[in-house]
């Protein structure tokens, strides 16, 4: 009776939220977009997975996952959006639609405060629980063997509570599928060097790049100042506020006080629109916390606006964390330590020093995005030339694939009687190939010999 209960949990999501989440998966111009704030949608199709090569059986699995859907990371977008709304109300500059915005922001703030800013939401827990359950169902032989031979399962996380809670929810899903797994899981261990590397002193060069690099700043400013960005911002805002009030924003005549800041900051039309847009992005991840009345932020954003601002924010993430500029690896070489650990774990299986059945890691977009770029995985294969602006037309990078909430990258390891190891990768539970420089065991296969992966990634590191 396990599977029906899990599917029942899915049906508990508010219908209107489910509908919006399904819409964004399609490419039609009428669809809403959410980028890296997309709630998780499994890309799994186990019935279509390639068969395991003859003579091989699964002996190990390891995984990196972003935390699940969460509350706003801190009081910021909600605080500023409410201040802007209050300023408009004081000027009698609200439209009939705009009258509805303030109470919705206040309701959203109350939900975030109750849950705790930055904390994992109920939907985030469910995302991870179901991924964990599917992992055990998919790799049943591995975990039956682990239980029989008392092989441990290690969990590591970044040190942040939402990452820890994601891992615990993931393990609860594993236990739901196979209750005996509970006896195999070790206490969660913090590993900031591998899972929170963007904040470590050893990577100060990256922090300096993010704050000060002129090419990075110029690219992001170009995205924010595109004529289409201003047009979309004003279009969005003028459904909520009077044109005269929006004109004050556009001309930089209004300033507002961010949380924990001593001096007011000027917010123009694009700034104001992006603050509100971030509430729209966050709302689906807190669908359970909305109570009986689903969040209404989708009413303040059109599909076209959602697509445009998702592109703008995708561009920002692309430059700050992803493939970024051609000819530099400054945004992702810090993920090499995690790449090395993925290989180290499998080498331990090869030489018999790794007795575990699995290692599961829980982190953040700031971990998953650079790791995908370092590994040259699907969607993270190329940067853009300096002077050429990132766009959906010239680059395959998309936030809703590379790092939605609960994004996960899994390596399954298979062994034959001769001791040869094969590795298969799943990304968001979809079989994907390793980079084209790596040769699978046969054309079109998703299975690669460990020695081949060591060769091709070794050559990549030297190039």
**Residue 314 domain-assigned?**
no
**pLDDT tens per residue across span 171-211:** 999 999 999 999 999 999 999 999 999 999 999 999 999 99
Instruction: Give yes or no for residue 261 having a pLDDT over 80.
Output: yes
Q: Of 435, 284, 412, 403, nearest to 359 (Cα)?
A: 412
| Helix 2-11, helix 161-177: angle, nearest 10 | 140
Predicted pLDDT of residue 13 = 39
**28 in a structural domain:** no
Q: Please, what is the Cα angle at 155 between 53 and 126, to 5 degrees? A: 85
Say if residue 93 is in the same domain as residue 202. Answer: no
Q: Which segment of 14-18, 66-70, 127-131, 253-257 scores lowest on mean pLDDT?
A: 14-18
Same-domain pairing of 302 and 410: no
CATH number at residue 337: 3.40.50.1240
Query: What letter would DSSP give residue 203?
Result: G
- Looking at the structure, do residues 41 and 173 belong to the same domain, yes or no? yes
Under 8 Å between Cβ of 380 and 322: yes
User: How many domains, the chain?
Assistant: 2
Q: Are residues 219 and 188 in the same domain?
A: no
In this predicted structure, the answer to whether residue 460 has a pLDDT above a threshold of 90 is no
Asked if 144 and 172 sit in the same domain, the reply is yes
DSSP-assigned beta bridge partners for residue 265: 256
Say if residue 175 is in the same domain as residue 106. Answer: no
- Whether 321 is in a domain gets the answer no
Query: Regarding predicted confidence, which is higher, 259 or 122?
Result: 122
- DSSP secondary structure letter of residue 69: S
Domain hosting residue 141, numbered range? 1-6+33-68+127-210+330-463
- Nearest CA to 384 out of 442, 315, 283 is that of 315
Matching residue, tokens 């290690």: 154
Residue 361 and residue 441 in one domain? yes
User: Which CA distances in Å does 48 have to 37, 43, 140, 424, 429?
Assistant: 28, 11, 17, 14, 12
Residue 39 sits in the same domain as residue 137: yes
Q: pLDDT tens, 295-310? A: 999 999 999 999 999 9
Answer yes or no: do 291 and 364 share one domain.
no
Q: Please report, for residues 26, 28, 32, 286, 362, the alpha-carbon distance to residue 281 in angstroms, rounded to integers and kept in the order given.
A: 17, 19, 10, 10, 22
**Is residue 323 included in any domain, yes or no?**
no
Per-residue pLDDT of 37-84, as tens digits, reads 999 998 777 788 999 999 999 999 999 999 999 999 999 999 999 999
Give the per-residue pLDDT at 98.
98
| 448/342 same-domain check | yes
Looking at 278, 309, 340, which one is the last position of a domain? 309
Closest by Cα among 65, 51, 64, 140 to 422:
51
Query: Is a pLDDT exceeding 60 seen at residue 437?
Result: yes
Residue 7 has pLDDT above 60, yes or no: no
Structure tokens at 165: 């809670």
Q: Which residues contact 394 (CB under 8 A, 6 or more apart)?
A: 384, 388
The answer to whether position 319 is within a domain reads: no
Identify whether residues 341 and 422 lie together within a single domain: yes
Question: pLDDT band at residue 239, thresholds of 50, 70 and 90?
Answer: very high
Examine residue 13 and state whether it is found in any structural domain, yes or no. Answer: no
pLDDT over 80 at 283, yes or no: yes
pLDDT(21) > 90? no
pLDDT exceeds cutoff 80 at 3? no
Domain shared by 206 and 230, yes or no: no
């Amino acid at each position: 009776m396990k599977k029906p209960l899990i599917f029942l949990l899915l049906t508990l999501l508010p219908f209107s939220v489910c509908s919006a989440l399904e819409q964004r998966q399609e490419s039609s111009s009428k669809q809403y977009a959410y980028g890296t704030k997309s709630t998780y949608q499994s890309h799994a199709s186990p019935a279509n997975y390639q068969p395991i090569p003859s003579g091989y059986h699964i002996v190990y699995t390891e995984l990196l996952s972003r935390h699940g859907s969460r509350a706003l990371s801190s009081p910021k977008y909600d605080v500023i959006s409410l201040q802007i709304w209050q300023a408009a109300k004081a000027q009698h500059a609200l439209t009939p639609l705009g009258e509805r915005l303030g109470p919705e922001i206040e309701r959203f703030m109350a939900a975030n405060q109750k849950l705790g800013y930055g904390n994992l939401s109920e939907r985030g827990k469910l995302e991870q629980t179901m991924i964990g359950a599917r992992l055990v169902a998919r790799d049943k032989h591995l975990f039956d063997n682990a239980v029989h031979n008392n092989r441990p399962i290690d969990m590591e996380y970044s040190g942040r509570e939402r990452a820890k809670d994601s891992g615990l929810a993931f393990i609860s899903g594993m236990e739901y599928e196979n209750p005996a797994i509970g006896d195999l899981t070790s206490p969660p261990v913090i590993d900031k060097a591998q899972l929170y590397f963007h904040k470590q002193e050893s990577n100060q060069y990256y922090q300096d790049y993010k704050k000060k690099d002129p090419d990075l700043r110029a690219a992001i400013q170009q995205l924010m100042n595109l004529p289409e960005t201003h047009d979309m911002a004003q279009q969005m805002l003028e459904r909520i506020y009077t044109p005269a009030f929006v004109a004050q924003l556009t001309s930089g005549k209004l300033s507002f006080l961010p949380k924990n800041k001593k001096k007011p900051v000027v917010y123009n039309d694009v700034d104001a629109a992006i603050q509100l847009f971030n509430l729209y992005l966050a709302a689906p991840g807190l669908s359970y916390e909305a109570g009986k009345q689903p969040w209404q932020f989708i009413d303040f954003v059109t599909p076209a606006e959602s697509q445009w601002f998702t592109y703008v924010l995708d561009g920002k993430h692309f430059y700050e964390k992803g493939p970024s500029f051609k000819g530099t690896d400054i945004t992702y070489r810090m993920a090499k330590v995690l790449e090395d650990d993925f290989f180290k774990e499998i080498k331990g299986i090869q030489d018999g020093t790794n007795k575990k059945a699995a290692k599961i890691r829980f982190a953040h977009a700031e971990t998953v995005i650079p790791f995908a770029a370092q590994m040259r995985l699907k969607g993270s294969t190329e940067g853009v030339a300096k002077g050429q602006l990132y766009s959906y037309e010239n680059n395959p990078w998309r936030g809703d694939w590379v790092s939605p909430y609960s994004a996960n990258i899994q390596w399954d390891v298979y062994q034959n009687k001769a001791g040869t190891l094969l590795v298969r990768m799943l990304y968001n539970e979809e079989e994907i190939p390793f980079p084209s420089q790596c040769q699978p065991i046969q054309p079109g296969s998703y299975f690669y010999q460990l020695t081949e992966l060591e060769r091709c990634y070794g050559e990549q590191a030297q190039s």
